[in-house]
Amino acid sequence: MNKQSGTTTEDTQQKITRKVSVAVIGAGTAGQNAFRQASKIKDDVVIINEGFWTTTCIAVGCMPSKLLIAAADRAHDANNSSEFGIHATAKINGKQVMGRVRDERNHFASYIKKQVDSWPDHKKIAGRAHINKKGLIEVNDELIEAEQIIVATGSSPFMPEGWADKLGDTMLTSDTVFELPDLPKSMVVIGAGAIGLELAQAFTRLGVEVTIFNRAKRVAGLKDDDINNKAIDCLSHELTMHLGSKITDVGTKKNEGNEIAFVEYEDSAGESQQWQGEYVLVATGRRNNIKQLGIENLGVELDDKNRPKDLSKKTGQIGDLNVYIVGDANANIPLLHVASDEGYSAGNMVCENTEAAYIRPPATPFSIVFCSPQIVNIGRSLPDIQQDSSLEFVIGSASFDNQGRSRVMGVNCGLLHIYGCKKTDRILGASMVGPDAEYIGHIIATAITNDLCVKALLDTPFYHPTILEGLRTALRDVQYKMEIPFQSQDAQEDNS
């Protein structure tokens, strides 16, 4: 690192407290995997971390949100089973609900803590790392020279400037919402992405009065208009959503001696409105945590959104630098399985174990939103496919509004689109809102990853009666449309 910064060993020798082969900054999913892999080959590896020594998924993400959703689903089933002849009203103990979320989260975290505790103490440094202009890592009272650096500093909730000061204690994020001691009476959720939808629906089902705002008339980042419209239709049965609205101000005010939050906004018709309630949950996405790290002092260039340029999506390496940025820190695909693969791969790369580093090809894009009905996107998006003039594609469709098992279960609202390539008989991508979407999505992702043709998928058994039979319906539609003479997709839709 000193050679890159133009300094000599003599210039910095007295200041350096230790020299290591590899320094991993950040102890989330990617960082822990990188540290474990590098430690198998190199003995002088250190890991530096500020805050909790666990993962975003376990502490504030996947696991606590799914625990909240699990409680919400039970309440929803109890309160909404009259069509089956079962009449009941759920009695919800908010303190117990939130207590279980934290207890079970801590249970999952204990396994990570046990693993971290097993690492040698001299290889773990708790503190905020900063890379100085000489390319050295400053942390606490140490100055570390590392031959290779892996940055895995994760991400944090993004919020508009000034909102934290204006909202004070009435503001929540996905990092703080699970610390609520009890269920609130009312809440507004800003953002209709994955985090916003999941939490808004869960709190709604647990008896909280929830309103969602989103600037775009879209949910879950859906890019297929038909799927987006269907998702809005399905979710609107229980969620109050103001889509296409613009937030103009936020703050707090006194109401009968209590401090409450307010949100001023313009609705989709351009009319000025105001919401008032207990909490404002800001779910406007997450941003990587590398802005204050000093990563530019290693020769790493960032774009205007703090995303590293010249990034290898296979290994996280930046150009030919001895620097790797993995997991949420690189702002590539902020999903746990991607962070895990990137950390594993980088941990091998820094030790020149390149065969193990390339453990798998780049993952097929795959995202799931665990609302009800679920939303999945797999492979290439519809706009991406439409922009590729070399492709002759068709869209196979299946509605779940009257699909057999879905109707039996009373979860019959949904739509699946599969984008098939006529020339190759392969699936290019898919988008879906509907029941069991997480499982249908996995099957489609497996087909894309393993280059399976549509016929091969249709040759596999589809057990009756299952919701997965809806996948067969969409695949048959793809196959049928592939067999007819090609015409533009617009024309096909017009004739359907």
Angle of the 469-483 helix axis to the 437-449 helix axis, nearest 10: 50
List C-alpha distances in Å: 53 to 27, 50, 151: 6, 8, 15
* Least confident interval from 146-155, 254-263, 361-370: 361-370
- In this predicted structure, the answer to whether residue 489 has a pLDDT above a threshold of 50 is no
C-alpha 332/C-alpha 328 separation (Å) is 7
Question: How many Cα atoms occupy the beta-carbon half-sphere of 15 within 13 Å?
Answer: 17
Question: Looking at the predicted structure, is the pLDDT value of residue 354 above 90?
Answer: no
Query: Binning pLDDT at 50, 70 and 90, where does residue 4 land?
Result: very low
Say whether both 296 and 267 belong to one domain.
no
Please state which of the ranges 3-12, 182-191, 246-255, 347-356 shows the lowest mean pLDDT: 3-12
Q: How far apart (Å, rounded) are the C-alpha atoms in residues 262 and 273?
A: 10
If one counts every other C-beta atom within 10 angstroms of the C-beta of residue 97, the result is 22
Strand partners, 441: none
Domain boundary among 260, 285, 310: 285
Q: In which band, very low, low, confident or very high, does the pLDDT at 357 lie, cut at 50, 70 and 90?
A: low
Q: Residue 6, by phi and psi: left (phi above 0), alpha (psi -120 to 50) or beta?
A: left
Query: pLDDT > 70: what percent of the chain?
Result: 92
User: pLDDT by residue (tens digit) across 271-286?
Assistant: 999 999 999 999 999 9
Same domain assignment for residues 260 and 302: no
Q: Does a structural domain hold residue 122?
A: no
Residues 300 and 327 in one domain: yes
Number of domains in the chain: 3
Domain final residue pick, 331, 357, 383: 357
In a domain, 393, yes or no: yes
pLDDT at 491 over 50: no
346, 423: one domain: no
Residue 276, domain member (yes or no): yes
Residue 279 sits in the same domain as residue 399 = no
* Amino acid, single-letter form, for residue 369: V
With a cut of 90, say whether residue 11 has pLDDT above it.
no
Same domain assignment for residues 13 and 140: yes
More confident position, 360 or 414: 414
Query: Region 253-274: what's the mean pLDDT?
Result: 93
What pLDDT, on the 0 to 100 scale, is given for residue 292? Answer: 87
Report yes or no on 81 lying in a domain. no
Looking at the structure, tell me whether residues 294 and 307 fall in a common domain.
Answer: yes
What's the rounded mean pLDDT across residues 188-211? 98
Region 475-487: mean pLDDT is 84
Domain boundary among 335, 357, 379: 357
What's the token pair of residue 468? 């997965």
User: Does residue 79 sit within a domain?
Assistant: no
The CATH number covering residue 315 comes to 3.50.50.60
pLDDT on residue 3: 39
Grade residue 355 by pLDDT with cuts at 50, 70 and 90. low
Q: Are residues 174 and 301 in the same domain?
A: no
Domain match, 271 and 298 both: no
pLDDT tens column, 115-172: 999 999 999 999 999 999 999 999 999 999 999 999 999 999 999 999 999 999 999 9
Whether the upstream peptide bond of residue 435 has omega within 30° of 0, thus cis, is no
Residues 182 and 294 in one domain: no
Mean pLDDT of the chain: 90
The answer to whether position 215 is within a domain reads: yes
Say which CATH number the domain at 488 has: 3.30.390.30
Instruction: Tell me how far CA of residue 271 lies from CA of 136, 215, 244, 265, 436, in angstroms.
Output: 54, 14, 12, 8, 39
Per-residue pLDDT averaged across 180-194, rounded?
A: 98
Predicted confidence band of residue 358 (pLDDT cuts 50, 70, 90): low
* pLDDT (mean) for 197-209: 98
Q: How confident is the model at residue 2 (pLDDT cuts 50, 70, 90)?
A: very low
Cα–Cα distance for residue pair 232/122, rounded to 1 Å: 52
Distance of CA 333 to the CA centre of its chain: 8
Whether residue 432 is predicted with pLDDT greater than 50 in this model: the reply is: yes
Six token digits for residue 345 = 């791969």
pLDDT of residue 343: 78
Say if residue 380 is in the same domain as residue 459. Answer: yes
Residues 39-64 pLDDT 10s: 988 999 999 999 889 988 899 999 99
Mean pLDDT in residue range 461-488: 89
pLDDT at 257 (0 to 100): 82
Residue 102 has pLDDT above 50, yes or no: yes
Residue 114 lies in a domain: no
Residues 352 and 326 in one domain: yes
Split at pLDDT 50, 70, 90, the class of 485 is low
pLDDT of residue 86 exceeding 50, the answer is yes
> What pLDDT digit, counting tens, does each position of 303-341 carry?
888 888 998 877 788 999 999 998 888 877 777 777 777
Domain carrying residue 251:
163-285
Contact, 47 vs 125, CB < 8 A?
yes
**Domain membership flag for residue 423:** yes
